[in-house]
Amino acid sequence: MSIWEYANPKKFMQTSGMLLPGVTVLAFAAMLGGLIWGFFFTPDDYKQGATVKIIYLHVPAAMMAINAWVMMLVTSLIWVVRRHHVSALAAKAAAPIGATFTLIALVTGALWGQPMWGTWWEWDPRLTSFLILFLFYLGYMALWEAIENPDTAADLTAVLCIVGSVFALLSRYAVNFWNQGLHQGASLSLDKEENVSDVYWFPLLVCITGFVLLFVTLVLIRTRTEIRARRLQALLARERLA
Amino acid sequence: MIALLIRDLRLAMRAGGGFGLGLAFFLLVAVLVPLGVGPEGETLAKIAPGILWVGALLACLLSLDRIFALDFEDGSLDLLATAPMPLEGAVAIKALAHWLVTGLPLTLAAPLLGVLLHLPDGGFLWLMASLALGTPALSVIGAFGAALTVGLKRGGLLLSLLVLPLYVPTLIFGAEVVKRGAGNMAVETPLALLAAITAGAAATLPFAAAAAIRINLR
């Protein structure tokens, strides 16, 4: 029993089909629970008022935006090294989801920034690097779309993802250098004595879990769709030959 | 390798375009910006470092698709890929040729445009230094982007979408050097980081670009 068994599309379809309903229900339960708890049953912040509650969308979306890219990097590496098609398709499936999370983080950040910082947009390192991350997602998806041969597309996007990761990381530190930040530091570090107050922390934790599960659900659905599309093409090709 | 370099340079000169076009574009940017933002010397002096770097970057971008496209079409790229010389070396040489016909002229012409944009006196030396150090990175990163899109019919627009985000660190450090130079501040840190990016890109990206070309030729 090894994880590479799931590189077999049939096995992957079986297992993911079995997992999907449970994960979906859990994702929606956690998100609904966390968001309702966060929006209606936590006190307003003494400085930020009700706007503090956007944290329940903003922080999980931002976390998943980065994690989605990391997942794409890992699956791309697996594709390059072991040539498992499911892996490449999972990377393809994750890209639009990651881009959407990035956009959610940017938009909720702008909505929060307007009343709090007095501006929709500030060229702050974190904001800027997220915008750059969004551009990376766009380029990655555009390359997938542009190439017709699926294997060539998988190879080239994998190379782009690997090189892009290095440059995304470089950009992250370069923008730090270029402008000092307005964005508050990390409020959820594991190694810090004081984090966000527990009142906000527990619903936030539920929301983060919900977003992670949502991401897993969407990636599974989209990967399954990609596999089915691939099978359909194979069927069509076979029919044309016959 | 040297024969390949000379061949590429000759082609760039003779085909007309690659060589002069980037420079003309750079000049146009430097002329259009004052027309857009107004002729006040102070404003121009303030934005000159950024404009010059962005202009150089865009001028570099213009000719990127020529690095491999022509060779791909007439099949010489296949020959290069099967030649005894490693493809990585060929990519590096082609990036060098691209730099010699775009980055180097841009570096030499930049001070002239700096005058047009009222760049403060302290900035000229660092403008040339940062462009000389930074534009090779633009060429190598661009060669990687060109290698990714070489198989596509209309890859030009996609190429810019792929390459521009990769240019971010180079641009930031490059413009920072000029900005600090113009303000008479210490430039060592961004200059060293810029040099590090160029060195790192030149050392590693030819491998990625060669891999992409092999995939495209498959």
pLDDT digits (tens, 9 = 90+) for A9-28: 888 899 899 999 999 999 99
| pLDDT at res. B195 | 94
What residue segments make up the domains of chain A, in order of their start? 9-181+198-241
ipTM metric: 0.86
Residue range B131-154: mean pLDDT, rounded? 91
Nearest CA in chain A to B197: A170
Q: Is A139 on the interface with B (CB under 8 A)?
A: yes
Chain A residues whose beta carbon lies within 8 Å of the beta carbon of residue B215: 152, 155-156, 159
Q: Residue A158 is encoded by which pair of tokens?
A: 């994998």
Residue range B139-146: mean pLDDT, rounded? 94
Contact B85, B95 (CB under 8 A): no
Chain A residues whose beta carbon lies within 8 Å of the beta carbon of residue B164: 135
Give chain B as a 3 state SS string.
CHHHHHHHHHHHHHCCCHHHHHHHHHHHHHHHHHHHHCCCHHHHHHHHHHHHHHHHHHHHHHCHHHCCHHHHHHCHHHHHHHCCCCHHHHHHHHHHHHHHHHHHHHHHHHHHHHHHCCCCCCHHHHHHHHHHHHHHHHHHHHHHHHHHHCCCCCCHHHHHHHHHHHCHHHHHHHHHHHHHHHCCCCCHHHHHHHHHHHHHHHHHHHHHHHHHHHHHHC
Round to whole Å and give the CA distance between A74 and B60.
Answer: 32
From the list A136, A162, A178, the residue facing B165 with the nearest CB is A136
Round to whole Å and give the CA distance between A70 and A133.
Answer: 12
The CATH class of A9-181+198-241 is: mainly alpha
Chain B residues whose beta carbon lies within 8 Å of the beta carbon of residue A138: 161
Mean per-residue pLDDT over chain A, rounded:
86
Per the model's pLDDT, the better-predicted residue between A95 and B119 turns out to be: A95
Record: contact B168-A171, CB cut-off 8 A? yes
Shortest CA gap B92–chain A (Å): 17
Residue range B85-112: mean pLDDT, rounded? 90
Residue range A58-64: mean pLDDT, rounded? 91
For chain B positions 113-172, those within 8 Å of chain A (CB to CB) are 144, 148-149, 151-152, 155, 158, 161-162, 164-166, 168-169, 172
| pLDDT at res. A181 | 60
Round to whole Å and give the CA distance between B150 and B165.
Answer: 19
Residue range B60-65: mean pLDDT, rounded? 86
Q: Is B2 on the interface with A (CB under 8 A)?
A: no
Name the 3-class secondary structure at A25. Answer: helix
| pLDDT at res. B95 | 92
pLDDT digits (tens, 9 = 90+) for A198-213: 777 888 889 999 999 9
Kindly state the greatest CA–CA separation across chain B: 58
Record: contact B152-A162, CB cut-off 8 A? no
Per the model's pLDDT, the better-predicted residue between A58 and A194 turns out to be: A58
What residue segments make up the domains of chain B, in order of their start? 2-217
pLDDT digits (tens, 9 = 90+) for B5-59: 888 777 777 765 566 788 888 899 888 988 988 888 888 888 888 899 999 999 8
% of chain A at pLDDT higher than 90: 50
The owner of tokens 């380029």 is A139
